[in-house]
Amino acid sequence: MISLFPKDGAFYQLFEKQAEKIGEAARLLSVTVKDPQKIKEVAAKLKVLEQSADEIGHELIENLRRNFITPLDGEDIDLLRQNLDDIVDFIERAVNRISIYHIVPPFPEEMENYVRIIIAAGREIKDGVREIKNVKKFRESLHHRCRRLNDLENQGDEINRRALGGLMAARDVSCGKLIEIIKLKEIYETLENAIDCCENVGNMFESILIKNQ
């Protein structure tokens, strides 16, 4: 049944739940890098977490389908949902690849740098989704978060350039080393995708700010 007068809070609560899942996923990613012996355990937990995040996304879609009037632009709600969900997906995929590709520790320093960016971005997103409930009150704070998420994405780009540059600088590599380079390249790019999605969330915050001046 379509509702003309929805409970606005339902959308915001679901966004906050999505943001919490991002924080949990980032924490598990950090555990993977710091304690590689737990990789299989962490990968299993992340798979469950990713499925739980998907369910929240489906609930958001259902709320969007049923409600004629929404607290934010319907397209913004859907795009924000997609980007929040994608962050968890990419984190889960990265850990999954580390596990099934049998990446041998100690892991390259670049992985810790990616994790640092993702954790910081997750914190900004968690606070940001709380603030979009009252855009006028938190306008300046949201602007700051948009800039912060953009800065973090720029840092991620620099980390990615260095990481890929280091991989491609290898010369006269063995077949085994070449396979390792291919594996790490995919993992690095997956982590970079997660960071890009964090910036996309910042762009959605900016869009919401502009539309609700």
Identify the three-state secondary structure at position 5.
Answer: coil
Q: How far apart are CA 68 and CA 50, in angstroms?
A: 29
103-128: pLDDT as tens digits:
988 898 999 999 999 999 999 999 99
User: Is-contact 47 92, C-beta < 8 A?
Assistant: yes
The pTM (predicted TM-score) of the whole model is 0.92
Identify the three-state secondary structure at position 67.
Answer: strand
Confidence of residue 6 (pLDDT cuts 50, 70, 90): very low
48-57: pLDDT as tens digits:
999 999 999 9
What count of other Cβ atoms lies within 10 Å of the Cβ of residue 70?
16
Q: Residue written as tokens 């840092």?
A: 155
Q: How many CA atoms lie within 13 A of 89 on its CB side?
A: 12
Query: What domains lie within the chain, and their CATH numbers?
Result: 8-211 (1.20.58.220)
DSSP 17-66: HHHHHHHHHHHHHHHHHH-GGGHHHHHHHHHHHHHHHHHHHHHHHHHHHH
